[in-house]
Amino acid sequence: MFSSHTTYLGIDPTAGDKPLTYVALDQDLSLLAIGQGDMEEVLAFVAGQRSAVIGVCAPSSPNLGLMDRAEVRERLSPVPRPGRWRNFRVVEYQLRQHNIYMPQTSAQAESCPRWMQQGFTLYQRLKHLSYLHYPQKDADHQCLEVYPHACFAALLEHLPLTKHSLEGRIQRQLVLYKCDLDIPDPMYIFEEITRHRLLQGILPIEELYQVEELDAMVAAFTAWMAGTKPDQVSLLGDSREGQIVIPVAEILSRYP
């Protein structure tokens, strides 16, 4: 169990060459910080934490070819068909069995998208700051891999709406609000919509978070769950090449 002084962070590097987005929560799920910065700025914030659990919205490494090994494939359910899924991580295969699409992580870092490469660098820099991969007993600094789409699906118990749509952003903020994060209730938008505002194209969305902020926020929430309620999270994948943490105790067999 982590101390009451632990900070729970979510970092989203998926914008590629653009600034990283980060969110920090305290023990009570209050928002400590939300912002953007380059790698050095975000790591400076991370380095200042006495105790922290960090959820990163990116794979921790390229795939290690585990899905090409017979002994690994035979342990999976269902067993992959011969010749299929060989250049995927174990967790990517597992999630797709639950109807959750996860981007493929190549075995060659240089073949991965820029945002994945930035994620690899971030994990290496966190390692240099003495962050260990979750779960570790009695370690004050830990990091874990989060896939926001899977987290939102698990919390909603069905696949979420498109993340870049207005309704998708409202849905994601609403589920986080219902998880007791100290953030605005997005339903206020509907109380403020009038005929005039719609005709003028003016929508009251100033308190609605951006896509990257919502992804970083669910990563921070997942880190909080992993740190405070470890028996209420699920891990998928193989620890040798990267497990993801999902903030529910039981994963549905399929997400409609």
Q: Domain boundaries in the chain?
A: 7-62+106-246
Q: What is the share, in percent, of the chain residues with pLDDT greater than 90?
A: 86
pLDDT surpassing 70 at residue 198: no
Mean pLDDT to the nearest integer, 10-25? 90
pTM for the whole structure: 0.93
pLDDT surpassing 90 at residue 136: yes
Q: Please state the three-class secondary structure of the chain as a single string.
A: CCCCCCEEEEEECCCCCCCEEEEEECCCCCEEEEEEECHHHHHHHHHCCCCEEEEECCCCCCCCCHHHCHHHHCCCCCCCCCCCCCCCCHHHHHHHHCCCCCCCCCCCHHHCCHHHHHHHHHHHHHHHCCCEECCCCCCCEEEEECCHHHHHHHHHCCCCCCCCCHHHHHHHHHHHHHCCCCCCCCCHHHHHCCHHHHHHCCCCCCCCCCHHHHHHHHHHHHHHHHHHCHHHCEEEEECCCEEEEECCCCCCCCCC
CATH 2.60.40, domain 7-62+106-246, yes or no = no
pLDDT surpassing 90 at residue 177: yes
- Give the residue, 7 or 4, on which the prediction is more confident: 7
Mean pLDDT to the nearest integer, 225-230? 96
1 band by pLDDT with thresholds 50, 70 and 90: low
Mean pLDDT to the nearest integer, 85-113? 95
Residue 137: the pLDDT is 87
